[in-house]
Structure 1
């Protein structure tokens, strides 16, 4: 039999789970679940980039399917610059209608396949 003090201590030690605040993808604007997080160097590491930001895995893969590292380093090194590109605008309009844990394999663009 457990006394009143021990029972109060047990109840006090039970932690109420605090809902996790999910980060928001700077490309598509949706919350990123833990299973779909990728760290992206807006300036590629091979071009001297150090900072990373969390993106949806599908957004990250789409960026690298469409653009080479040199192009990313020179002119597409911010989320705003990426969102100004017509190919990314089409992709973002499509992916925003999907659930936050949606993933589909990305294909390289025709221009990237030729390079």
Structure 2
């Protein structure tokens, strides 16, 4: 039987969870807090923000939830089942920084 988890960002019920480092590993985040996120939310965060932005501006669940792009995303996915696969594309802003 599949174990159920709740994503800390979208609060949807999902069968598996990922760990999101609030301070990205490449910025020294291995010893800092992580969030338990569904893969869709995790991919969306990294599609919207660079690791530098995450380390500087989005160091908490509250700061992520206040960002207008995340607010719009959460409103979009609120009625989509947690284990549905959504194709997430990196924003132009993030693609340029790679």
TM-score range with shorter-chain normalisation? 0.7 to 0.9
Give the match for residue 98 of structure 1. Answer: 80
Confirm whether residue 88 of structure 1 aligns to residue 70 of structure 2.
yes
Pairing of 1:4-83 with structure 2 (within 5 A): 20=3, 22-34=4-16, 37-50=17-30, 51-83=33-65
Kindly name which structure, 1 or 2, has the bigger radius of gyration based on alpha carbons: 1
Q: Which runs of 5+ in 2 are unaligned?
A: none
- RMSD of the alignment, in Å? 1.8
TM-score with structure 1 length normalisation? Answer: 0.74
- Pairwise CA distance, 1:79: 1.3
Higher relative contact order (CA 8 A, sep 6+): 2
Q: Once the 2 structures are TM-superposed, how far is the Cα of residue 23 of structure 1 from its aligned partner?
A: 2.7
Moved over 3 A (4+): none
